Structure 1
Amino acid sequence: MIDPYEVLGVAREADGAAIKSAYRKRAKNAHPDTGGDVDLFSRLTTSYELLADPIRRKVYDETGYDPDLADTKDLQGLVILETLVNEMILDEREPGTFDPVAAMRRKLTDKVVSARFHILEMERHRARIRNHLDRMARKPGTDVLGRMLRARGQTISDAITKAEAEIITIEQAYGMLDGYAYEVEPAEVKDAAE
């Protein structure tokens, strides 16, 4: 996630005039028409637009999130975390009696392990298909079985690629949990309160 304050080089308390001034100063050097960096200019403009809009700025300040500043991996990670946050909200246990952040990490770790196991299984099947193809003589004319086996192998390869991308997304979501901790009440305090 891009930090618009950092991109523009302004403090979080900066007023509209300071934000506009910082944008103009930095955009002047980054503008593509003057030989500047297109990507930097785009980030500057997006950051300025966010901070110039009071509603978007308020949402960003409160959540640290803005869809225009998020990269695709972040958005995919947020979708995964959204599901886990919903599970945390729906959990009937009393807050403080369990660690929902640790539970999220465990669930994400379990998803990665499951996806890796699934990849290993698919690789085993793909290797079996290759072995069959190596042993099978081609039928003259149309090679129906060969085409079917190659198509199946390609489908498995595509599924492996998809599972590998899913692991990257899950790891992105896991990384978004870095720095979070949750305070769980010690058992003695809970027992004394009852």
Structure 2
Amino acid sequence: MRVRSLMDPYSLLGLERDAQEPAIREAWRKAAKGAHPDTGGDADTFARLQVAYDLLRDPVRRRIFDDTGYDPELADPKDLEGVKLLERLVNDVILDEREPGSFDPVSAMRRSLSDDIVKNRIHILELERHRNRVRQHIDRLGGKSGSDVLGSMLRARSETIADAIRKTERQIEMIEHAYQMLEGYRYELQVELQMAAQVRDEAAE
């Protein structure tokens, strides 16, 4: 039974976003009565109603949904990671003192994510150089009978660097996913405000 698709629990139950517990419970009972499989209703519809009801009754899940549009229990983990990255960028937009319409915040978010990808890729190159040097030391280190303290330390360091590389590669994947989440958005600029902002920026230089 598929209930994990993106949905709006408020629309599904016919509720306003400020609905309180009694209204939520009443709306669910009314909707579920006709959708219950035992009374000839559709099982998938009933399951979605149940998910919506459970989400809105849980204050933590509801708050996260209200803030991000995602249910933390049902959303794809990649989407939640992407939301975390985008949340920081949205905060930057909110704190930007420029007039709305004088700059494109979506393009700014894309540039920021692209810059982060480049920085992480450069970081991976640096880590790989370090790991190669450690490997060369291991290859040149003569064997020792008994406890091989130096060899063990170098091999442990090599594995630590490998873990850091994997972690950075995972971070790049998350940033790329956040970038994909911005696809389809357009931002309408007001030409007059944009020109005024450019004049101010040039004057400041």
Same fold judged by TM-score > 0.5? Answer: yes
Contiguous gaps of at least 5 residues in structure 2: 16-26, 197-205
Q: Could you say what the CA RMSD is over the residues aligned between the two structures, in angstroms? A: 3.6
1:3 partner amino acid: L
Whether 2:164 is the aligned partner of 1:147: answer no
Q: Which secondary structure does the structure 2 equivalent of 1:98 belong to? A: coil
Whether 2:81 is the aligned partner of 1:64: answer no
Question: Matched residue pairs, number?
Answer: 175
CA contact (8 A) 2:13 2:31 kept: no
Q: Which TM-score applies when normalising by structure 1?
A: 0.72
Provide closer, same or farther for how the CA distance between residues 26 and 163 of structure 1 changes in structure 2, counting only shifts above 3 A: same
Higher alpha-carbon deviation: 123-132 or 110-119: 123-132
Residues 1-194 of structure 1: matches in 2 within 5 Å?
2-4=5-7, 16=28, 17-18=30-31, 21-22=34-35, 24=37, 25-26=42-43, 45-47=50-52, 49-50=54-55, 64-187=69-192
Give the Cα separation in 1 of the matches to 2:52 and 2:173.
Answer: 27
1:34 alignment counterpart = none
1:140 Cα deviation after fit: 1.5
Contiguous gaps of at least 5 residues in structure 1: 29-40
CA contact (8 A) 1:97 1:184 kept: yes
Give the Cα separation in 2 of the matches to 1:64 and 1:139.
Answer: 60
Percent identity between the two aligned chains: 52
2:131 partner amino acid: R
1:147 Cα deviation after fit: 0.8
CA contact (8 A) 1:100 1:182 kept: yes
CA contact (8 A) 1:126 1:156 kept: yes
Offset from partner CA, 1:140-188 (integer Å, 9 cap, x none): 1121111111011011011011111111111121122111111112248
Give the Cα separation in 2 of the matches to 1:97 and 1:27.
Answer: 46
